[in-house]
Structure 1
Amino acid sequence: MTKNAKRTLITLAVIIAMVITIIPNATVTATSSDYSHLIGNSDVKKPSVGGKLQILAKNGTMTLCGEDGNPIQLRGMSTHGLQWFPKVVNTNAFSALSNDWEANVIRLAMYIGEDGYATNPSVKQEVIKGIDYAIANNMYVIVDWHMINPGNPNDNIYSGAQSFFNEISDLYPNNKNLIYELCNEPNDGSGGVSNDAAGWAQVKAYATPIVELLRNKGNENLIIVGNPFWSQRPDLAADNPIDDNNTMYSVHFYSGTNPVSDVETDRNNAMSNVKYALEHGVAVFATEWGTSLATGTTGPYLEKADAWLEFLNANNISWCNFSLCNKNEVASALNSTTNLDPGYDKVWTDAELTKSGQYVRARIKGVYYATPDEPEPNKPQPPLDFSSGFWDFNDGTTQGFGINADSPITSIMIQNANNALELSGLNTHGSNDLSEGNFWANARLSADVWGHSINVYGFTKLTMDVISPSPTNVSIAAIPQSNSCGWANPTRAVRVFKNNFVAQSDGTYKATLTISVDDSPNFKAIAADSTDSIVRNMILFIGSSSDNLSLDNIKFTK
Structure 2
Amino acid sequence: MNIKKNILNVVMAIALLAYSIPVSVNATEADYSNLIVSPAEKPSEGGALQILEKSGQKTICDQSGKSIQLRGMCTHGLQWFPGTINNNAFAALSNDWGSNVIRLAMYVTENGYNNDPIGMKEKVIKGVDFAIANNMYVIVDWHMITPGDPNAAEYSAAKAFFEEISSLYPNNPNIIYELCNEPNGEAPGVTADANGWIKVKNYAEPIIKMLRDKGNKNLVIVGSPYWSHRTDLAADNPVIDSADNTAYAAHFSAGSDYPTTDDTDRRKVMTSIKYALNHGVAVFVSEWTLAEAGGMIESGGLYYDYADNWLDFFSKNNISWCAWSICNNNYTSSSLVPYEMCKTNETSLDPGDDQLWSPNEISPAGEYYRARIKGITYNPIDRKKVDFTTNLFDFDDDTTQGFGINRDSFVKSVMLSNENKALKLNGLSASNDISDYNFWGNARLSAEASGLYKDIKDAENLTMDVITATPATVSIAVVPQSYYHSWIDPKNAVQVVPEDFKLQQDGSYKATLTISSEDSPNLKAIASDSKDSILTDIVLIVGSTTSAISIDNIAVSGTHTIVDQPIVHSPIGTPTIPSDFEDSTRNGWDWDKNSGVKGSLTIEEANNSKAMSWYVQYPKVKPSDLWTASPHIRLIKAKATPVANNYLTFDLYLNPISASKGSILIYLVTESPELGYWAMASEKYNIPLTNLNQVEKTTDGLYHYKVNFDLRKIDGDKVILPNTNLDPLTLVFYDVNCDFDGKMYIDNIKFSNDITQ
**TM-score where L is the length of structure 1:** 0.62
Matched with 1:63 is 59
Mapped pair 1:85 → 2:81: yes
Matched with 1:350 is 359
Matched with 2:334 is 332
Q: After superposition, what is the alpha-carbon deviation per residue over 1:147-179, rounded to whole angstroms, capped at 9, x for unaligned? A: 000000000010000000000000000000000
Matched with 1:224 is 221
Q: After superposition, what is the alpha-carbon deviation per residue over 1:25-78, rounded to whole angstroms, capped at 9, x for unaligned? A: xxxxx99x9411101224x20000111100000000001100000100000000
Answer yes or no: is the 8 Å Cα contact 1:263–1:275 preserved in 2. no
Equivalents in 2 of 1:427, 1:343: separation in Å?
39
Structure 2 CA distance for partners of 1:428 and 1:46, relative to 1, 3 Å: farther
Equivalents in 1 of 2:46, 2:80: separation in Å?
32
3-state SS of 1:346 partner? coil
Matched with 1:282 is 281
Mapped pair 1:360 → 2:369: yes
Equivalents in 2 of 1:63, 1:51: separation in Å?
16
Task: For 2:278, give the aligned amino acid.
Answer: E
3-state SS of 1:370 partner? coil
Task: Choose which of 13, 29, 32 in structure 2 pairs with 1:35.
Answer: 32
Structure 2 CA distance for partners of 1:34 and 1:373, relative to 1, 3 Å: closer
Structure 2 CA distance for partners of 1:426 and 1:208, relative to 1, 3 Å: farther
Equivalents in 1 of 2:53, 2:329: separation in Å?
40
Task: For 1:305, give the aligned amino acid.
Answer: A
Answer yes or no: is the 8 Å Cα contact 1:41–1:364 preserved in 2. no
How far apart are 1:191 and its partner, in Å? 1.6
How far apart are 1:328 and its partner, in Å? 1.0
Higher relative contact order (Cα pairs below 8 Å, separated by 6+ residues):
1
Task: For 1:358, give the aligned amino acid.
Answer: E
Which aligned pairs between 1:395-544 and structure 2 lie closer than 5 A?
430=572
Equivalents in 1 of 2:299, 2:353: separation in Å?
32
Equivalents in 1 of 2:354, 2:567: separation in Å?
40
Task: For 2:364, give the aligned amino acid.
Answer: K
Answer yes or no: is the 8 Å Cα contact 2:223–2:249 preserved in 1. yes
Matched with 1:470 is none
Equivalents in 2 of 1:127, 1:430: separation in Å?
45
Mapped pair 1:369 → 2:378: yes
Structure 2 CA distance for partners of 1:306 and 1:374, relative to 1, 3 Å: farther
Answer yes or no: is the 8 Å Cα contact 2:326–2:336 preserved in 1. yes
3-state SS of 1:36 partner? coil
Mapped pair 1:162 → 2:159: yes
Q: After superposition, what is the alpha-carbon deviation per residue over 1:457-479, rounded to whole angstroms, capped at 9, x for unaligned? A: xxxxxxxxxxxxxxxxxxxxxxx
Q: After superposition, what is the alpha-carbon deviation per residue over 1:212-239, rounded to whole angstroms, capped at 9, x for unaligned? A: 0000000000000001000000000000
Equivalents in 2 of 1:112, 1:75: separation in Å?
25
Matched with 2:734 is none
Equivalents in 2 of 1:69, 1:105: separation in Å?
19
Number of aligned residues: 358
% of aligned pairs identical? Answer: 56
Answer yes or no: is the 8 Å Cα contact 1:350–1:371 preserved in 2. no
Task: For 2:283, give the aligned amino acid.
Answer: V
Equivalents in 2 of 1:111, 1:117: separation in Å?
6
**TM-score where L is the length of structure 2:** 0.46
Matched with 1:302 is 304
Between Structure 1 and Structure 2, which shows a larger proportion of helix residues? 1
Matched with 2:264 is 265
Structure 2 CA distance for partners of 1:425 and 1:319, relative to 1, 3 Å: farther
3-state SS of 2:34 partner? helix
Answer yes or no: is the 8 Å Cα contact 1:293–1:299 preserved in 2. yes
Matched with 1:15 is none
Matched with 1:254 is 253
Matched with 1:322 is 324
Answer yes or no: is the 8 Å Cα contact 2:266–2:275 preserved in 1. no
Matched with 2:125 is 128
Equivalents in 2 of 1:259, 1:367: separation in Å?
23
Kindly report structure 1 stretches of 4+ aligned residues shifted beyond 3 Å.
424-433
Task: For 1:211, give the aligned amino acid.
Answer: I
3-state SS of 2:379 partner? strand
Structure 2 CA distance for partners of 1:429 and 1:90, relative to 1, 3 Å: farther
3-state SS of 2:315 partner? helix
Task: For 2:151, give the aligned amino acid.
Answer: N
Matched with 1:193 is 190
Residue ranges of structure 1 left out of the alignment (5+ in a row): 1-29, 377-423, 434-440, 444-558
3-state SS of 1:276 partner? helix
How far apart are 1:265 and its partner, in Å? 1.8
Matched with 1:142 is 139
3-state SS of 2:77 partner? coil
Equivalents in 2 of 1:288, 1:350: separation in Å?
24
Answer yes or no: is the 8 Å Cα contact 1:64–1:72 preserved in 2. yes
Answer yes or no: is the 8 Å Cα contact 2:221–2:284 preserved in 1. yes
Residue ranges of structure 2 left out of the alignment (5+ in a row): 1-26, 339-345, 386-565, 576-587, 591-757
Structure 2 CA distance for partners of 1:123 and 1:329, relative to 1, 3 Å: same
Task: Choose which of 175, 193, 201 in structure 2 pairs with 1:178.
Answer: 175
Answer yes or no: is the 8 Å Cα contact 1:426–1:432 preserved in 2. no
How far apart are 1:264 and its partner, in Å? 2.6
Q: After superposition, what is the alpha-carbon deviation per residue over 1:2-45, rounded to whole angstroms, capped at 9, x for unaligned? A: xxxxxxxxxxxxxxxxxxxxxxxxxxxx99x9411101224x20
How far apart are 1:375 and its partner, in Å? 9.4
Equivalents in 2 of 1:429, 1:370: separation in Å?
38
Task: For 1:326, give the aligned amino acid.
Answer: N
Answer yes or no: is the 8 Å Cα contact 1:263–1:272 preserved in 2. yes
Matched with 2:459 is none
3-state SS of 2:311 partner? helix
Q: After superposition, what is the alpha-carbon deviation per residue over 1:64-111, rounded to whole angstroms, capped at 9, x for unaligned? A: 100000100000000000000001000000000000000000000000
Task: For 1:271, give the aligned amino acid.
Answer: M
How far apart are 1:425 and its partner, in Å? 10
3-state SS of 2:188 partner? coil
Mapped pair 1:291 → 2:290: yes
Task: Choose which of 228, 231, 235 in structure 1 pairs with 2:232.
Answer: 235
Q: After superposition, what is the alpha-carbon deviation per residue over 1:193-229, rounded to whole angstroms, capped at 9, x for unaligned? A: 0111000000000000000000000000000000100
Answer yes or no: is the 8 Å Cα contact 1:77–1:320 preserved in 2. yes
3-state SS of 1:180 partner? strand
Q: After superposition, what is the alpha-carbon deviation per residue over 1:382-410, rounded to whole angstroms, capped at 9, x for unaligned? A: xxxxxxxxxxxxxxxxxxxxxxxxxxxxx
Answer yes or no: is the 8 Å Cα contact 2:147–2:189 preserved in 1. yes
How far apart are 1:372 and its partner, in Å? 2.9
Equivalents in 1 of 2:369, 2:42: separation in Å?
18
3-state SS of 2:275 partner? helix
Structure 2 CA distance for partners of 1:285 and 1:431, relative to 1, 3 Å: farther
Matched with 1:51 is 47
Task: Choose which of 66, 71, 74 in structure 2 pairs with 1:75.
Answer: 71
Equivalents in 2 of 1:50, 1:147: separation in Å?
29
Equivalents in 1 of 2:283, 2:567: separation in Å?
39
Mapped pair 1:108 → 2:104: yes
Structure 2 CA distance for partners of 1:357 and 1:428, relative to 1, 3 Å: farther
RMSD value, Cα: 2.4
Mapped pair 1:209 → 2:206: yes
Structure 2 CA distance for partners of 1:98 and 1:276, relative to 1, 3 Å: same
Structure 2 CA distance for partners of 1:442 and 1:81, relative to 1, 3 Å: closer
Structure 2 CA distance for partners of 1:428 and 1:323, relative to 1, 3 Å: farther
Q: After superposition, what is the alpha-carbon deviation per residue over 1:300-334, rounded to whole angstroms, capped at 9, x for unaligned? A: 11111111111111110000000011111101001
